Structure 1
Amino acid sequence: MTAQLEHTNFTVSDPAATADWMCDLFGWHIRWQGAAIAGGHTIHVGTDTHYLALYSPQAPEKPRQSNYTTIGGLNHLAVTTDDLDALETRIKAHGFTTGNHADYEPGRRFYFHDADGIEYEVVQYD
């Protein structure tokens, strides 16, 4: 028996705004949205089989330190694409800054941060 990742749930400042750019850039769709714990709101955005739960509590707090040095912190999310250059052009058109480009076995990648400071890795495998 093999388990499969179904979703990841993380906190953002504006689930609707985050879901909007994810749908536009990644070709995803909103699967569900509604009230959530602590008076918050959640939007499930992704594909028919995998999604991200974008949660915002009624009174969100700003992060206090780098996720890379915090046990249990979210370091980054990664998505794959068949056309790295085209997706990078679209990401930049949304106002995000890309960086840390690298070619590595077995592909190419770059990173960008969203308005909440969440880091995304975009990968194209050869």
Structure 2
Amino acid sequence: MMATLEHTNFTVRDPKATAAWMHDVFGWKTRWEGAAMAGGYTVHVGSAHTYLALYAPNAPKPSAESTYNTVGGLNHVGVLVEDIDATETRVRAAGFEPHNHADYEPGRRFYFDDDNGIEFEVVAYD
């Protein structure tokens, strides 16, 4: 069996708020939520097989570093969708501004930054 990415965990300001826009934009569901390490809170949002673990410590601190210049940094999260135009409409409705649109073989893509400074790449293949 080939290995499959099961989840990724990253820190956000408000896991419930981040999960809410992910429900609306990507159609994902909350799989689990509850108390987490160091007095924090976590929400697992995604599908039955893969998810993002959204963790907030008791006192989150913003980072001013560019992740593209930091070894081990999270550069972006790629999300595959069926209807890229409808997804872009939902991204805008959630208050995010799409950028860096491109058509390429074999599909189309755009990016947006969420309110945590996390960049998402949205991709649809032809």
The two structures have a TM-score, normalised by structure 2, of 0.97
| Structure 1 moving runs of 4+ over 4 Å | none
Q: For 2:64 and 2:100, locate their aligned partners in 1 and report how far apart those are by CA, in whole Å.
A: 24
Query: Does structure 1 retain, via aligned residues, the 8 Å contact 2:15–2:55?
Result: yes
Q: For 1:64 and 1:112, locate their aligned partners in 2 and report how far apart those are by CA, in whole Å.
A: 18
Identity between Structure 1 and Structure 2 (%)? 64
Give SS of 1:96's match.
Answer: coil
Q: For 1:90 and 1:124, locate their aligned partners in 2 and report how far apart those are by CA, in whole Å.
A: 15
Amino acid at match of 2:11: T
Amino acid at match of 1:17: A
Q: Is 1:118 aligned with 2:118?
A: yes
Query: Does structure 1 retain, via aligned residues, the 8 Å contact 2:79–2:122?
Result: yes
Q: For 1:25 and 1:64, locate their aligned partners in 2 and report how far apart those are by CA, in whole Å.
A: 26
Give SS of 2:74's match.
Answer: coil
Structure 2 residue runs of 5 or longer lacking an equivalent are: none
Q: For 1:94 and 1:41, locate their aligned partners in 2 and report how far apart those are by CA, in whole Å.
A: 23
Query: Does structure 1 retain, via aligned residues, the 8 Å contact 2:24–2:90?
Result: no
Alignment map for 1:1-126 (pairs within 5 Å): 1-126=1-126
Structure 1 residue runs of 5 or longer lacking an equivalent are: none
Aligned-pair CA distance for 1:64: 3.0
Amino acid at match of 1:80: L
User: What per-residue deviation string (whole Å, max 9, x for no partner) do you get for residues 52-106 of structure 1?
Assistant: 0000000111113101111111000011111111110111111110000001111
Q: For 1:71 and 1:33, locate their aligned partners in 2 and report how far apart those are by CA, in whole Å.
A: 30
Aligned-pair CA distance for 1:3: 1.4
Give SS of 1:63's match.
Answer: coil
Query: Over the residues paired in the alignment, what is the CA RMSD in angstroms?
Result: 0.8
